[in-house]
Amino acid sequence: MSLATTFGVLGGDRRQLYLAQSLAGDGYPVYTSCLGEGSPPGCLGSLPPVELAARCGILLLPLPASRNGVLNAPLAPAPIPLDEDFVRLLLGKRVYGGMLSPLRAASPLWEQVTAWDYYTREELLLGNAFLTAEGAVGLAIHEYEGSLGGSRCLVTGFGRIGKALCAALKGLGAQVDCCARKPRDFTVLRALGCQPLAYGRLEQPYDVIFNTVPAPVLTAQALSRQRWGTLLLELASPPGGIDREAARRFGLRVIDAPGLPGRLAPKSAGELIKEAVYAMMEEA
Amino acid sequence: MSLATTFGVLGGDRRQLYLAQSLAGDGYPVYTSCLGEGSPPGCLGSLPPVELAARCGILLLPLPASRNGVLNAPLAPAPIPLDEDFVRLLLGKRVYGGMLSPLRAASPLWEQVTAWDYYTREELLLGNAFLTAEGAVGLAIHEYEGSLGGSRCLVTGFGRIGKALCAALKGLGAQVDCCARKPRDFTVLRALGCQPLAYGRLEQPYDVIFNTVPAPVLTAQALSRQRWGTLLLELASPPGGIDREAARRFGLRVIDAPGLPGRLAPKSAGELIKEAVYAMMEEA
Amino acid sequence: MSLATTFGVLGGDRRQLYLAQSLAGDGYPVYTSCLGEGSPPGCLGSLPPVELAARCGILLLPLPASRNGVLNAPLAPAPIPLDEDFVRLLLGKRVYGGMLSPLRAASPLWEQVTAWDYYTREELLLGNAFLTAEGAVGLAIHEYEGSLGGSRCLVTGFGRIGKALCAALKGLGAQVDCCARKPRDFTVLRALGCQPLAYGRLEQPYDVIFNTVPAPVLTAQALSRQRWGTLLLELASPPGGIDREAARRFGLRVIDAPGLPGRLAPKSAGELIKEAVYAMMEEA
Amino acid sequence: MSLATTFGVLGGDRRQLYLAQSLAGDGYPVYTSCLGEGSPPGCLGSLPPVELAARCGILLLPLPASRNGVLNAPLAPAPIPLDEDFVRLLLGKRVYGGMLSPLRAASPLWEQVTAWDYYTREELLLGNAFLTAEGAVGLAIHEYEGSLGGSRCLVTGFGRIGKALCAALKGLGAQVDCCARKPRDFTVLRALGCQPLAYGRLEQPYDVIFNTVPAPVLTAQALSRQRWGTLLLELASPPGGIDREAARRFGLRVIDAPGLPGRLAPKSAGELIKEAVYAMMEEA
């Protein structure tokens, strides 16, 4: 068993458990750390971070790698500080993690770490967008008191998530309008049988509104014609795109839906990370 | 306000609350009973059963009308016995309810009640099938750790629910196989891009299996090649079609999913009941 | 080679050529007659009707079996009369054909023929409906000067063909309205994201109208608001459902589209006939 | 009527007739030239090029603007040379055309022409891709002897046309494999329920193969396992991506399908040009 091809999965949530299991399923030796007591099927065991670093040539950090200034490791018994001791564990390793900038900013020692950020890979971002869209559909099925089939839905934004969401909602029989800006998005939306709208006041009432835009697009004026009780799902990162105060005033129901891939499809999310890491290893 | 066109909605769950609200939205006078303390927007108020009967010419019972020998009224403070006193409330009224046979069997007084069973209406059965299929999709999105898009799903049965489910799963990007019996179902499945299978041992492993058949089709032998942890959703009425003991032995994960329309889409389910009652009133 | 399991394919068009080829591909001995000079790959040859009858225990007649009083055999060098000589060829054989009633009415000798009409099989009717729908889509792509994606289409009737057509048009990104009568059809159409309409005057202008109803539903009044040049495809059997005189007056463009399965998908249509015959043989 | 806002549509095919009609429908004064004898409804008339230039401040050239060294004007009575006299007509005008490079190369006078190439606009390229995909589907429905529903299709390339084509084929019930190169394309294809393949030998036989790649991807080796008679549609510009000699040797049936938007959806193609020109005018 070569150190150079032994993976250490350090921190994270259920996605990382599936990531470790999937790497092991491909035949690699894999250890986990800070991921709960046991280790997924096929893995070699769970180790403290120092021992993990001693045995593994490739270290996989979670997505995002840090949360509130410590390692993103909700399954660990105690917070793991991202101090210089931590960074020293990574020296001489090949390190892959998601959203590494905050870590890099925290210590100049990072300059000596050989690290890649997998959250820059288009295939991972696209795959996550599909998982987010499917999760949003699942959430809407649970939270909306009617059925999506035959309902009238609005999606704001026609980026990665908006595209996947429009297709999924159409696939379930919803009527889909979508707010977009670019002429090219209007063209595609029309061809798909969705109605493109400019941003601004929504003239029609909707059954469910999905916001994917991390900018204030669903303002008080935009929302003023929506009916009491209308469901809004906030899919964009905080502070999102919905005027919460106005929504409360109009009696609209806003549900925050962050991190859907990790919550509703950890297996697929973990496998997407694996594919991205493999692709980066091949290119390196 | 004429007694003859005043609706009394008696018992039931959130579907009946939406049913009452929707009737009121169409302009009818509506009272509720045994549906919690308040009354939905637009309704005239909540009354005890005796007073409801005094003021309403049309009485709507829930779906199913009875459960465990009493009125199906989970929101009522106490069980409502379906005794002769109850039946007397219905005399001289136009009564609509779902699955009335058990009530009718309980008392000969029913012969004098003018009652229709709305659960015989094809449009309601079909509509409920679509709600069940969408609910099953929502459940699978939550319970399956991967994503339905790109997954391999099996549906058993190509009746009302099976048809709606195959279409919804395809619409989300799943690969769908379906067990069916009739040559005509094989023809349609092929045309839709689903793979039709005869019942018997499943040769391929699936990610999610949806059973819609109320007969033992997913036997130990049928399930013997499925992988540990595979998700099975039981959509058929008890005892369903899955050999539970075998599923446990193979490490499969079975989730019971009864009553999805009422749980996940009470608004649409209530409106379907309203449409069925309207159609029966027109025909009567 | 047993006479009892030797197939003779007698008359018909390209569907029957594919039928013969497909039977041969399944390992059966197959002769053809009145289907052009050669014989499809795998078949044993082309024979005159009398010799065909001498060598084959199973005779397959076309769909429809007769046209204009003679055998439906456009590839034959001369018309084949359906006289008593013809019927005598069938005596003692197992005969399968489509729409046999006109033949049966023509001679009392038919009472002695052992014949089955495969055009009564639901799987064949359903399969043909899918072929018709796909053919209608192909025709509309060629004849409509715009694109179906993003267009506004009307389908009249929600029977076998209407159902398949609504699904196919939605699949290409069209907005689909559908005229129907039954409450159950309204329910399903809504769930699929199509707008159900009652018959009567069409209030919206459409880009393409597909008629599947063999009764006068697209009357002058119904069509009065359609725009000059609007395309109408007549899919129902003559006289169809479109008021031709009114359509001409309003400048609408009507295209007759009979027999689409045979014209645009003869291979699949032939295989559907084979499947139906096999199923009837098993049941007999 | 201001010269500055008067459109002259010069040369082209039915797309330009619809373009002129659509501009007129928006209220602009429009003349046509070299587009047949008449002029579409709402236009002011057909003029010779010199008079057109005298009356119009905005000149719209076709897509492509030139063909075989002359103006692309199949409806003109005689070829229009693209000589210096022609270029002089454009001086002082706002000129919009498609694929202008060959014209620009032909005369230094072009440096004084104020011209924009609308075939660089992403919304037009995307819209054309959807029209091409739909046209390819229509062509396949006509040319393939089976039905696309339930068939096995291969698409090569997952660019604009490949994406639209995969979605349309799935929408009609086909099973779709797609050759692609980028990891991100594999991710999206899987999420959509299509099977992604690397380029190379095709191991499975297909019913219809759609090539969208203008590079030799369907080589003799790639095609060696395809069945006699398999249909291949060449959608890429010449010389396309199919080894014609090999295809002939294997008995495959290759159909060239260039210019589908103009041939099968001239109305939508003309409107896409109009939208692109409007967007360029706003930005200028």
Question: Residues of chain D with pLDDT > 90: what percent?
Answer: 94
Instruction: Give the chains touching C; criterion: ≥3 Cβ pairs < 8 Å.
Output: A, B, D
Binning pLDDT at 50, 70 and 90, where does residue A87 land?
Answer: very high
- Residue C198 in tokens: 């009652």
What's the confidence (pLDDT) of residue C159? 97
Tell which of D123, D147, D170 to mutate to test the C interface (max C CBs under 10 Å).
Answer: D147
Say whether pLDDT at B284 is over 90: no
Which of B173, B191, B193 faces D192 most closely, judged by CB atoms? B173
Strands of the sheet containing B195-197, edge to edge, are B195-197, B175-179, B152-156, B208-211, B231-234, B253-256
Q: What pairs with residue C33 in β-bridges?
A: C10
Which tens digits make up the pLDDT trace of A123-180? 999 999 999 999 999 999 999 999 999 999 999 999 999 999 999 999 999 999 999 9
What's the confidence (pLDDT) of residue D166? 98
Distance CA B221, CA B249 (A): 12
**Which helix (H) or strand (E) is C169 found in, with range?**
helix C160-171
- For chain B, the first-to-last Cα distance in angstroms comes to 22
| DSSP 8-class letter at A36 | -
Residue B34 and residue B20 in contact, taking contact as beta carbons nearer than 8 Å = no
Alpha helices in B76-159 (DSSP H): 84-90, 101-106, 122-143
What's the confidence (pLDDT) of residue D1? 62
Distance CA A85, CA A100 (A): 17
**Which helix (H) or strand (E) is A87 found in, with range?**
helix A84-90
DSSP 3-state of D187: helix
> C154 φ, ψ to 5°?
-120, 135
Residue pointed to by tokens 């120092």: A50
Give the type of residue at C67: R
C282 to chain B: closest CA residue: B183
What's the confidence (pLDDT) of residue C80? 95
Q: What pairs with residue A276 in β-bridges?
A: none
Which tens digits make up the pLDDT trace of D82-117? 999 999 999 999 999 999 999 898 889 999 999 999
Closest CA to B39 of B54, B29, B26, B53: B29
- Residue B131 in tokens: 């709600």
Count CB-CB contacts under 10 A for residue D78: 8
Chain B residues in contact with A265 by the CB 8 A cut-off are 141, 144-147
Helix C160-171 crosses helix C183-192 at what angle (to 10 degrees)?
A: 20
C280 to chain B: closest CA residue: B183
Residues 6+ apart with CB under 8 A from C141: C147, C148, D134, D135, D137, D138, D141, D264, D265
Say whether pLDDT at A1 is over 80: no
Which of A170, A173, A190 faces C191 most closely, judged by CB atoms? A173
- Residue B166 in tokens: 């195959």
Say whether pLDDT at A96 is over 90: yes
Dihedral (CA of A22, A23, A25, A30) sign: negative
DSSP 3-state of A263: helix
Closest CA to B33 of B24, B43, B41: B43
Which of C149, C173, C191 faces A149 most closely, judged by CB atoms? C191
Count CB-CB contacts under 10 A for residue A2: 7
Binning pLDDT at 50, 70 and 90, where does residue A3 land?
Answer: confident
- The answer to whether D172 contacts C171, with C-beta atoms less than 8 Å apart, is yes
What's the confidence (pLDDT) of residue C1? 63
Size of interface B-C (CB pairs under 8 A): 55
Per-residue exposure over C144-178, b if at least 16 CB sit within 10 Å of its own CB, e if not? bbbbbbbbbbbbbbbebbbbbbbbbbbbbbbbbbb
CA distance to partner chain A, nearest, from residue B4 (Å) = 30
- Residue A120 in tokens: 């820059």
Measured in whole angstroms, how far is the alpha carbon of residue C11 from the centre of its chain?
16
Say whether pLDDT at B17 is over 90: yes
Distance CA A248, CA B31 (A): 30
Which tens digits make up the pLDDT trace of C120-173? 999 999 999 999 999 999 999 999 999 999 999 999 999 999 999 999 999 999
Chain A residues in contact with C196 by the CB 8 A cut-off are none
B-side interface with D, Cβ within 8 Å? 147, 149-150, 170, 173-175, 190-193
Which tens digits make up the pLDDT trace of B213-266? 999 999 999 999 999 999 999 999 999 999 999 999 999 999 999 999 999 999
What's the confidence (pLDDT) of residue C3? 85
Chain B residues in contact with C167 by the CB 8 A cut-off are 167, 192
Q: Which of D194-200's residues contact partners 24+ apart within 8 Å by CB, and which partners? A: D194/D166, D194/D170, D196/D158, D197/D154, D199/D156
> B233 φ, ψ to 5°?
-105, 125
Q: What is the mean pLDDT of residues A89-97?
A: 97
Say whether pLDDT at D284 is over 90: no
Distance CA A20, CA A273 (A): 10
Which of C164, C184, C272 faces B123 most closely, judged by CB atoms? C184
- On the 0-12 / 13-18 / 19+ scale of CB atoms within 10 A, A181 is middle
What's the confidence (pLDDT) of residue C10? 98
Chain A residues in contact with D279 by the CB 8 A cut-off are 183
Say whether pLDDT at B114 is over 70: yes
- The answer to whether B149 contacts D175, with C-beta atoms less than 8 Å apart, is no
Alpha helices in B27-174 (DSSP H): 49-55, 84-90, 101-106, 122-143, 160-171
Bridge-based pairing of strands B66-67 and B114-117 is: unpaired
Which of A149, A175, A193 faces C149 most closely, judged by CB atoms? A193
- The answer to whether B150 contacts D191, with C-beta atoms less than 8 Å apart, is yes
Which tens digits make up the pLDDT trace of B120-174? 999 999 999 999 999 999 999 999 999 999 999 999 999 999 999 999 999 999 9
Residues B48, B51, B54: CA angle, nearest 5 degrees: 150
User: Taking all residues of chain B, what is their mean pLDDT, rounded to a whole number?
Assistant: 96
Chain B residues in contact with D170 by the CB 8 A cut-off are 170, 193
Chain D residues in contact with C271 by the CB 8 A cut-off are 146
What's the confidence (pLDDT) of residue A106? 82
Q: What is the mean pLDDT of residues C211-230?
A: 96
- The answer to whether C149 contacts A174, with C-beta atoms less than 8 Å apart, is no
Size of interface B-D (CB pairs under 8 A): 31
> B150 φ, ψ to 5°?
85, -5
CA distance to partner chain C, nearest, from residue A196 (Å) = 11
- The answer to whether C127 contacts B279, with C-beta atoms less than 8 Å apart, is no
Distance CA D7, CA D30 (A): 5
- For chain A, the first-to-last Cα distance in angstroms comes to 22
Per-residue 3-state assignment (H helix, E strand, C coil) for A188-232: HHHHHCCEEECCCCCCCCCCEEEECCCCCCECHHHHCCCCCCCEE
What's the confidence (pLDDT) of residue D105? 86
ipTM of predicted complex = 0.94
Question: Residues of chain C with pLDDT > 70: what percent?
Answer: 100
Chain A residues in contact with C174 by the CB 8 A cut-off are 193
B148 to chain D: closest CA residue: D191
Q: What is the mean pLDDT of residues D155-159?
A: 98
CA distance to partner chain B, nearest, from residue D39 (Å) = 44
Chain C residues in contact with A191 by the CB 8 A cut-off are 147, 149-150, 173
- Residue D141 in tokens: 């429905």
Residue B215 and residue B193 in contact, taking contact as beta carbons nearer than 8 Å = no
Residues 6+ apart with CB under 8 A from B170: A171, B176, B192, B193, B194, D170, D193
Chain A residues in contact with D184 by the CB 8 A cut-off are 121-123, 126
Tell which of C153, C163, C170, C187 to mutate to test the A interface (max A CBs under 10 Å).
Answer: C170
- The answer to whether B141 contacts A267, with C-beta atoms less than 8 Å apart, is no
Q: What is the mean pLDDT of residues A105-131?
A: 95
| DSSP 8-class letter at B162 | H
Tell which of C121, C166, C184 to mutate to test the B interface (max B CBs under 10 Å).
Answer: C184
- The answer to whether C186 contacts B123, with C-beta atoms less than 8 Å apart, is yes
Say whether pLDDT at A195 is over 90: yes
- Residue D82 in tokens: 């693209």
Tell which of B17, B128, B147, B175 to mutate to test the A interface (max A CBs under 10 Å).
Answer: B147
User: Taking all residues of chain A, what is their mean pLDDT, rounded to a whole number?
Assistant: 96
Q: What is the mean pLDDT of residues C211-235?
A: 97
Chain C residues in contact with A192 by the CB 8 A cut-off are 149-150, 173
Which tens digits make up the pLDDT trace of C67-102? 999 999 999 999 999 999 999 999 999 999 999 999
Give the type of residue at A152: R
Which of D127, D188, D275 faces A191 most closely, judged by CB atoms? D127
Which of B173, B175, B191 faces D149 most closely, judged by CB atoms? B191
Tell which of C125, C128, C165, C188 to mutate to test the B interface (max B CBs under 10 Å).
Answer: C188
D184 to chain A: closest CA residue: A123
Binning pLDDT at 50, 70 and 90, where does residue A284 land?
Answer: confident
Which of C122, C126, C183 faces B123 most closely, judged by CB atoms? C183
- The answer to whether A265 contacts B147, with C-beta atoms less than 8 Å apart, is yes
- The answer to whether B187 contacts C275, with C-beta atoms less than 8 Å apart, is yes
Which of B137, B147, B264 faces A130 most closely, judged by CB atoms? B147
Length of chain A: 284
A-side interface with B, Cβ within 8 Å? 14, 18, 130-131, 134-135, 137-138, 141-142, 144-150, 168, 170-173, 264-268, 271
- The answer to whether C150 contacts A190, with C-beta atoms less than 8 Å apart, is yes
Which of C18, C130, C137 faces D141 most closely, judged by CB atoms? C137
Residue B13 and residue B262 in contact, taking contact as beta carbons nearer than 8 Å = yes
Q: What pairs with residue B227 in β-bridges?
A: none
- The answer to whether D134 contacts C142, with C-beta atoms less than 8 Å apart, is no
- Residue D244 in tokens: 């014609």
- Residue D186 in tokens: 């594999």
Distance CA D32, CA C195 (A): 40
What's the confidence (pLDDT) of residue C283? 87
- Residue C188 in tokens: 């399903």
CA distance to partner chain A, nearest, from residue C199 (Å) = 21
Question: Measured between alpha carbons, how far is residue B223 from residues A224, B243, C162 in Å?
Answer: 53, 9, 37
Binning pLDDT at 50, 70 and 90, where does residue B105 land?
Answer: confident
